[in-house]
Amino acid sequence: MKRFIFYLFILSLSLSLKAQDLKSARKIISVLCSPEFHGRGYVAHGDSIAAMYLMKQFKKIKLKSFGDSYVQDFSFPVNTFPGKMSVVLNGKDTLIPAYDYLIPASSSSVSGTFPVIEMNADLLDHPEKLNKITNDSIARSFIIVDTLGMKNKGFKDAYNDIIHYNLLGAKGVIQIEYKNLMYVPATFEQAFPMVKISRQALPDSMYSISIQVENKFIPEYHTRNLIGYIPGQIDSFLVFTAHYDHLGEMGKGIYFPGANDNGSGVAMVLALSKHFAKIKEKPKYSIAFMLFSGEEMGLLGSSYYVEHPLFSLNRIKFLVNLDVIGSGEKGIKVVNGTVYKAQFDTLVSINQKKAYLPSVNIRGPAANSDHYPFYEKGVPSFFIYTLGNYSEYHNIFDKADAVPLTEFEDLFRLLLDFVQTF
């Protein structure tokens, strides 16, 4: 009976620790996704606010720094939307930003009411109707190209160029979004305004658009990577990385929280650093923890780092990048698993023995997160993301209270066991 009570106590302690770890991760994600952080982007210096918070976490954990601080400064161009914005169709239908419409991140400023020329199947499949539209009328109007039911293959093939490069010379371009509205930041400013409108928010017929958009292009925006480490017995490194930046704001009061992408990865890197910092005995290898800015802009932070490393890249034994790890009920995907097959097989073997995750799935190389600049330089690396039913991505619904963190704790344990194999 005493032995049973003892085992029950150990089980309850284990469950308590698991709940505590998840509670800590949720707190970090909640802070990073709060309105005060402005979506961790480049309006209202949301990235800087996040960096200050994360530096405090590094200090609290007592990570060592390379040089005087954890900071590695760099800069890049970015197009932003700090002001108010509005879109009204036909003088009466006021659209809700981020629900009904998005302003593509490369758009220029615009203010006023403009006619709308609808280029649909009825128009584009009848050249005699199309020829009646003058260049002057197009230049004064917003155009919307609807390819549904269109037989004109030439226009279908040229659709992306017409939309993205404004080949017809319109005042502005309206793009129909058939799926979820998804925001992607930009490092450049186009010479014309654009707006993406959800198909569900479009009226049966559109003849005018009243639009106000104020952009601010910043040719040299200053941001920073954060790097700390724990010294090991051998002067080579295992590295854990994640990006802390996100999409920021699109107009006043509209921000993208970025819980799964990538508050979840940041929380994991902090959890790992806290774990290794508490161990009294030095780890076999030094362990570096890198939090990158500029990932959403095109892997700019990690690209800058590999060109300006704080220690030689050939001293990296292995790197694991963690991005979008907020679910997991269907397991994980391991990018570069086909390249570093021995290490992938090790992950699979550990998972089979310990039954941590439902599955560990393999994938080849992909330039889709911060592991890739390292991989291009020959650094052995994985990018791990979770698989599950949570689908919010690059939208305003990726919130701290929505991300499930289904297998966060088990992935944490898998990574700890993986480190022990080196």
Q: Is the pLDDT score of 4 beyond 70?
A: no
278 φ, ψ (degrees, to nearest 5): -80, -20
CATH of domain 23-78+219-419: 3.40.630.10
Domain boundaries, the chain: 23-78+219-419, 86-213
In 3-state terms, what secondary structure has residue 221? Answer: strand
Which pLDDT does position 19 carry in this prediction? 55
Which pLDDT does position 18 carry in this prediction? 55
pLDDT, tens digit (0-9, with 9 covering 90-100), for 59-78: 999 999 999 999 999 999 99
Q: How many Cα atoms sit within 13 Å of 233 on the Cβ side?
A: 6
DSSP state of 179: S
pLDDT, tens digit (0-9, with 9 covering 90-100), for 135-188: 899 999 999 988 777 777 777 777 888 888 999 999 999 999 988 899 999 999
Confidence grade of residue 20 (pLDDT, cut at 50, 70, 90)? low
Q: Is the pLDDT score of 287 beyond 90?
A: yes
Confidence grade of residue 17 (pLDDT, cut at 50, 70, 90)? very low
Which pLDDT does position 408 carry in this prediction? 97
Q: Which of 252, 243, 398 is nearest to 305 (CA)?
A: 243
User: Regarding beta strands 208-213 and 216-230, do their DSSP bridges make them parallel or antiparallel, or are they unpaired?
Assistant: unpaired
- Mean pLDDT of all residues in the chain? 92
Which pLDDT does position 219 carry in this prediction? 98
For the entire predicted model, the pTM comes to 0.92
Which pLDDT does position 13 carry in this prediction? 41
Which helix (H) or strand (E) is 322 found in, with range? strand 316-322
CATH of domain 86-213: 3.50.30
pLDDT, tens digit (0-9, with 9 covering 90-100), for 308-341: 999 999 999 999 999 999 999 999 999 999 999 9
Q: Is the pLDDT score of 356 beyond 90?
A: yes
The token pair that represents 79 in the structure block: 């197009």
pLDDT, tens digit (0-9, with 9 covering 90-100), for 379-394: 999 999 999 999 999 9
Whether cis (ω within 30° of 0) applies to the bond prior to 395 is no
